[in-house]
Chain A
Amino acid sequence: MIRDITIGQYYPAESRIHRLDPRVKIICTLLFLVSLFIQNSLLGYVIATVFLGVVIRLSKVPLKYIVKGLKPIVILLLFTVVMNLFLTQGGERLVHFWIFTITENGLRTSVFMAVRLMYLVAGSSIMTFTTSPNGLTDGMEKLLHPLNKVNVPVHEVAMMMSIALRFIPILLEETDKIMKAQMARGADFESGNIIQRAKAMIPILVPLFVSAFRRANDLAMAMEARCYHGGEGRTKMKPLKYKARDRMAYIFTVFYLILIFVVGRFVDFKLWIF
């Protein structure tokens, strides 16, 4: 059910990708996402696929997990495909019935958009699968550190993010439990119109908020008891230092970027309409 959501979850394993500095993973993920938008050719997507494939392989995260992570965007995906398929015009007409027309451009755009979206999610989920949320926030914190000078509480924000990530699965499980408890009292979440359904959520939301506040309170106390007093004077168990492999990863990514940019722009390769 609700517990099956895998996006934003860490997949513990020992792999080359896991060992990379989180900053590398954040920056390279961003670069990868950018790379999907700076080109729009078949060869470009082939190169992106190879890059993504290699990274997934190196990460030792089962492909199944990544595919599962795509589930939540299925609707969005379908929507994009359908919209592009019928609304983008241009090029040769491929199919025509009643008021619908599918053109070459429409088909191409919708396929490319779908691939782009899937790679977007797969690329970012590889980052979250291979980086512990703490690593992720550490990386963010370090990358955004310069903002401290303009009074942005970077450490605090990073800490809040990592705590939020830790509690998401707990709160999901709790939601599941409260839902079942209310169903045992005859609550019905499945039928009725939108207003009735929204009203039916109150018996879930109130206990959930009460519990979230109780947990927040407990957690604040536990953190204080362990001498937490903000970022000042804090050392790090896993301080971020670039190593040779991190530099390699940057080089590899930059190489990929150049390749996709050059090939995508200048090499003309066409297969049917793509």
Chain B
Amino acid sequence: MSIALEHVNYVYSPGTAYEKQALRDVSLEIPQGQFVGIIGHTGSGKSTLIQHLNGLTRATSGRILYEGRNIYDEGYDMRWLRSQVGLVFQYPEHQLFEVDVLSDVCFGPKNQGLTQEECEKRAKEALNLVGFPEKYYKQSPFELSGGQKRRVAIAGVLAMRPKVLVLDEPTAGLDPKGRDEILDQVERLHKETGMTVILVSHSMEDVAKYVERIIVMNRGGKMLDGTPGEVFRHYKELEEVGLAAPQVTYVMHDLKERGFDLSPDATTIEEAADEIMRSLA
């Protein structure tokens, strides 16, 4: 019950002037139920990486195993895979197209060939999971606020009942409260359903607060992989590749340099406050 990548390489438009190696020998395994963050700046390969997970983009070489089976095997059911590994793109609200919210969320299940009844049941269940109020089910998705549109779009993927949910920059363009609301909702979802959640982001603060494991991508390769504490210990290397650790990590390191007796591994405000209080006591 996991996703595994084995030596995956991906080359864009090979043989042309635009040729570019987007992924370089990436190997990793994500066990079922994990909450993982993938970090990297634009062009680091993180978006390409997640498009491999549901077979939208086909690796130039290497293997991808979902629940132990190679997805590139002859006759492998890609559409089934896409319902298992739900991928929510950046600005997902731009894919909404139906006349009302409920029908839009039904699009996924309908493509799975389910009956109208079952589709609606799953759509309602998904909308419920993202905390979308029932009174707006019959509203046109184009008339909703930005945050609500995004919820509908995420529900559109959840309605296929995936076992893995991949979110590409789910908070882009939202205001601070909107960011927290979406991420809190995702966290709740993870806890309630036991789904694997893969969160792609460039906000270190967001990722550090929610995930149990961080994978850092750089130039198409996997650069770091570990718990937030482990990864941010490399804050200097992160900076060299144009990323940064959360601000609290810097505060902790500064304090340690100034002679405070503390462990600088804190990545969230609570952890940092605990550690500072302990060292001052």
A178, B95: Cβ atoms under 8 Å? yes
Which of these, B13, B51, B94, B157, contacts A185 with CB under 8 Å? Answer: B157
Contacts of A178 in B (CB 8 A): 94-95
Which of these, A64, A177, A188, A206, contacts B89 with CB under 8 Å? Answer: A177
B97, A184: Cβ atoms under 8 Å? no
A230 CB → nearest B CB, Å:
32
CA distance A207 to B141 in the complex (A): 11
CA distance A17 to B57 in the complex (A): 39
A175 CB → nearest B CB, Å:
11
B54, A184: Cβ atoms under 8 Å? yes
CA distance A185 to B79 in the complex (A): 9
A203, B82: Cβ atoms under 8 Å? no
A249 CB → nearest B CB, Å:
27
- Encoded as 1 (CB less than 8 Å from any B CB) or 0, chain A from 195 to 210 comes to 0000000110011001
CA distance A174 to B94 in the complex (A): 10
Residues from 48 to 64 in A contacting B, C-beta threshold 8 Å: 62, 64
CA distance A181 to B51 in the complex (A): 10
CA distance A64 to B107 in the complex (A): 42
B17, A184: Cβ atoms under 8 Å? no
Residues from 88 to 142 in B contacting A, C-beta threshold 8 Å: 88-89, 92, 94-97, 107-108, 111-112, 142
Contacts of A186 in B (CB 8 A): 79, 82-83, 107-108, 111-112, 160
Contacts of A64 in B (CB 8 A): 16-17
CA distance A4 to B89 in the complex (A): 22
Tell me if B220 is interfacial: C-beta within 8 Å of chain A.
Answer: no
Tell me if A148 is interfacial: C-beta within 8 Å of chain B.
Answer: no
Tell me if B170 is interfacial: C-beta within 8 Å of chain A.
Answer: no
Tell me if A19 is interfacial: C-beta within 8 Å of chain B.
Answer: no
Tell me if A15 is interfacial: C-beta within 8 Å of chain B.
Answer: no
CA distance A4 to B18 in the complex (A): 10
B141 CB → nearest A CB, Å:
10
CA distance A188 to B157 in the complex (A): 15
B95, A203: Cβ atoms under 8 Å? yes
A185, B156: Cβ atoms under 8 Å? yes
Tell me if B86 is interfacial: C-beta within 8 Å of chain A.
Answer: yes
Contacts of B83 in A (CB 8 A): 186
CA distance A183 to B81 in the complex (A): 11
CA distance A210 to B93 in the complex (A): 11
B17, A188: Cβ atoms under 8 Å? no
Interface centre among A180, A183, A185, A207 (most CB of B within 10 A): A185
Residues from 156 to 210 in A contacting B, C-beta threshold 8 Å: 174, 177-178, 180-188, 202-203, 206-207, 210
User: Nearest A residue to B79 by beta-carbon distance?
Assistant: A186
Tell me if B144 is interfacial: C-beta within 8 Å of chain A.
Answer: no
Which of these, A174, A183, A203, contacts B56 with CB under 8 Å? Answer: A183
Q: Do A207 and B111 contact each other (CB < 8 Å), given the known contacts A184-B87, A186-B83?
A: no
B13 CB → nearest A CB, Å:
7
Q: Do A185 and B160 contact each other (CB < 8 Å), given the known contacts A62-B17, A180-B51, A210-B142?
A: yes
A181, B95: Cβ atoms under 8 Å? yes
Contacts of B54 in A (CB 8 A): 184
Contacts of A203 in B (CB 8 A): 95, 97, 107
B97, A206: Cβ atoms under 8 Å? yes
Q: Do A184 and B79 contact each other (CB < 8 Å), given the known contacts A177-B89, A203-B107?
A: no
Residues from 47 to 88 in B contacting A, C-beta threshold 8 Å: 51, 54, 56, 79, 82-83, 86-88
Q: List 11 A-B contacts (CB under 8 A).
A: A4-B16, A174-B94, A181-B92, A182-B95, A184-B86, A184-B88, A185-B160, A187-B107, A206-B97, A207-B95, A210-B97
Closest 6 CB pairs of A and B: A186-B111, A206-B97, A181-B95, A185-B108, A184-B87, A181-B89
